């Protein structure tokens, strides 16, 4: 490889060394970064020589302060940012922190990977948590090859994806701030509707409670811990529709789960644990009536994403899915108004509906969902 590399415009100043490389196309590394440059901070000449063999040029300087001066010049002249910043292990973390802080504050540099050039087996004096705070990876540049190029490309894509997700979160937070002025109106609406519903259905709820007591031993209400908006945990209230030992039989019925054995949600068609009164309550969604008390307490809203059992919520903590918890928990929502094959939806379809509501939530959208809720209340599917 050395015979195919020629330094055509290398020069040295009191601040840094600048490399420009010309290669024989036939013998040059196929996977090298075309028209991209490295930026090395340190004094290890072997590392620099290896980088010259892989890149089309680069910068090398001994200190962080000199590196900052070069970067300011690159920014002022609007030159292309280096493909990677590589810092020798001898450079103090305090100095590295200053450089990384500068890089992250600049649009031109904040997506460029920062690597530590470190000899293998040298672990003395390094706190892993501190290294992770400033470095994207730790490598040995003395053995740099095409795999290093591939690693740099991968880290660049990771940083780009992280930035994209961060932007999505900021945009969503901005939307939530804009909607914060509607929070009082939503809460007032929830209080009025829930109070009206409780007063209107109180005689019916009393009859249901009596029927549950007469049919089977156990409490009238089923109370479980659920995760709502912002993963806040609260006591979720429903009329009991199953035998008292139903929770203990979940493992025995996993093979009947409508969403598959490895899915987030759990539901069994024609669940054998359901009582006769329970089936009737479920078919008319009457088991949900006590949730108006949750709304009145402020745990839930009339419209929103369904609050999830804690074991289900614990599986939805990734960036891709956690946005569903930015919306309030609701008695009704997009799940409930889906008429066609509502009970046959996959886990992914349900989560996507939750995400769609989280992004679109507004008072008018809530009213639209409410208008479409009554036709969906009578569930012919007994799941």
Give per-residue pLDDT as tens, 246-265.
555 555 555 555 555 545 45
What CA–CA distance (Å, rounded) separates 181 from 371? 24
Greatest mean pLDDT among 1-15, 194-208, 229-243, 362-376: 194-208
With left for phi above 0 and alpha for psi between -120 and 50, is residue 16 left, alpha or beta? beta
Task: Indicate whether 242 pLDDT > 90.
Answer: no
- For the segment 193-212, the average pLDDT, to the nearest whole number, is 94
Confidence (pLDDT) at 102: 87
User: Helix, strand, coil: what percent of the chain each, to 5?
Assistant: 50, 15, 35
* Residue 9 structure tokens: 């415009």
For 317-368, what is each residue's pLDDT tens digit? 666 677 788 888 999 988 878 755 555 677 778 888 888 898 888 888 899 9
Higher pLDDT, 143 or 342: 143
Confidence (pLDDT) at 238: 93
Domain at 2-144, CATH from 3.40.50.150, 3.40.1030.10, 3.40.50.2300, 3.30.2270.10: 3.40.50.2300
Q: State the pLDDT confidence band at 309, using cuts at 50, 70 and 90.
A: confident
Write the DSSP string, 298-359: TS-EEESBPPEEHHHHTT--STTTGGGGGSPBEEE-TTTT--TTGGG--HHHHHHHHHHHHH
Cβ atoms < 10 Å from Cβ of 8: 10
- For the segment 2-26, the average pLDDT, to the nearest whole number, is 52
Confidence (pLDDT) at 226: 92
Segments of 53-113 assigned E as strands: 57-61, 84-88
Confidence (pLDDT) at 20: 63
What CA–CA distance (Å, rounded) separates 63 from 67? 6
Using a 10 angstrom Cβ sphere, with 0-12 exposed, 13-18 middle and 19 or more buried, the burial of residue 166 is: exposed
Question: How far are the Cα atoms of 29, 85, 168, 314 from residue 228, in angstroms, in the given order?
Answer: 54, 43, 21, 12
Residues 6+ apart with CB under 8 A from 184: none
User: Considering only 10-19, 66-75, 76-85, which range has the smallest mean pLDDT?
Assistant: 10-19
What CA–CA distance (Å, rounded) separates 313 from 231? 8
**Average pLDDT of the chain?**
77
Q: State the pLDDT confidence band at 375, using cuts at 50, 70 and 90.
A: confident
Task: Indicate whether 377 pLDDT > 80.
Answer: no
β-bridge pairing 233-239 and 5-7: unpaired
Higher pLDDT, 255 or 39: 39
Q: Give, for 65, the enclosing helix (H) or strand (E).
A: helix 64-76
Task: Indicate whether 310 pLDDT > 60.
Answer: yes
What CA–CA distance (Å, rounded) separates 214 from 35? 80
Cα dihedral 44→46→51→57 (10° resolution): 80
- For the segment 169-178, the average pLDDT, to the nearest whole number, is 59
* C-beta separation of 299 from 234 below 8 A: yes
Higher pLDDT, 7 or 250: 250
Q: Phi then psi for 21, rounded to 5 degrees?
A: -120, 140
Confidence (pLDDT) at 4: 43
Higher pLDDT, 331 or 158: 331
Q: State the pLDDT confidence band at 194, using cuts at 50, 70 and 90.
A: very high
Cα dihedral 60→65→66→71 (10° resolution): 80
Greatest mean pLDDT among 150-154, 235-239, 320-324: 235-239
Task: Indicate whether 29 pLDDT > 70.
Answer: no
* Residue 201 structure tokens: 């259905």
Task: Indicate whether 287 pLDDT > 70.
Answer: yes
Task: Indicate whether 179 pLDDT > 60.
Answer: no
User: Considering only 14-18, 197-201, 271-275, which range has the smallest mean pLDDT?
Assistant: 14-18
Confidence (pLDDT) at 25: 45
Confidence (pLDDT) at 148: 80
Confidence (pLDDT) at 30: 44
HSE on the CB side for 55, CA within 13 Å? 29
User: Considering only 241-255, 268-282, 304-318, 327-341, which range has the smallest mean pLDDT?
Assistant: 241-255
Show me where the domains of the chain are located.
Answer: 2-144, 175-376
HSE on the CB side for 191, CA within 13 Å? 8
């Amino acid at each position: 490889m050395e015979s195919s590399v020629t330094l055509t415009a290398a020069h040295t100043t009191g601040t840094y060394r600048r490399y420009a490389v010309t290669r024989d196309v036939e013998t040059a590394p196929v996977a090298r970064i075309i028209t991209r440059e490295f930026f090395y901070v340190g004094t290890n000449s072997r590392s620099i020589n290896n980088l010259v063999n892989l890149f089309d040029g680069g910068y090398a300087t001994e200190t962080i302060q000199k590196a900052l001066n070069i970067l300011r010049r690159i920014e002022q002249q609007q030159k292309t940012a280096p493909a990677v910043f590589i810092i020798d292990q001898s450079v103090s973390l305090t100095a590295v922190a200053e450089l990384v802080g500068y890089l992250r504050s600049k649009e031109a540099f904040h997506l460029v990977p920062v690597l530590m050039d470190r000899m293998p087996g040298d672990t003395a004096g390094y706190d892993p948590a501190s290294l992770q705070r400033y470095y994207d990876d730790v490598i040995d540049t003395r053995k740099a090859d095409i795999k290093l190029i591939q690693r740099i490309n991968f880290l660049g894509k990771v940083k780009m994806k992280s930035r994209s997700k961060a932007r999505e979160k900021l945009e969503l937070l901005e939307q939530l701030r804009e909607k914060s002025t509607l929070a009082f109106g939503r809460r007032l609406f929830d209080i009025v509707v829930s109070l009206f519903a409780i007063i209107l259905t109180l005689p019916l709820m009393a009859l249901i409670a009596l029927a549950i007591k007469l049919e089977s031993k156990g409490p009238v209400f089923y109370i479980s811990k659920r995760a709502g908006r912002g993963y806040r945990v609260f006591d979720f209230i429903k009329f009991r529709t199953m035998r008292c030992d139903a929770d203990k039989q979940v493992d025995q019925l996993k093979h009947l789960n409508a969403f598959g054995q490895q899915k987030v949600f759990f539901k069994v068609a024609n669940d054998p644990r359901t009582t006769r009164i329970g089936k009737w309550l479920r078919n008319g969604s009457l088991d949900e009536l006590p949730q108006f008390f949750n709304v009145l307490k402020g745990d839930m809203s009339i419209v929103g994403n369904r609050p999830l059992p804690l074991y289900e919520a614990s599986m939805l903590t990734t960036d891709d899915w956690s946005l569903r918890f930015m919306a309030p928990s609701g008695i009704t929502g997009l799940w409930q108004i889906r008429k066609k094959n509502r009970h046959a939806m996959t886990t992914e379809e349900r989560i996507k509906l939750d995400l769609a509501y989280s992004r679109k939530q507004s008072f008018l959208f809530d009213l639209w969902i409410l208008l479409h809720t009554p036709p969906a209340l009578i569930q012919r599917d007994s799941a």
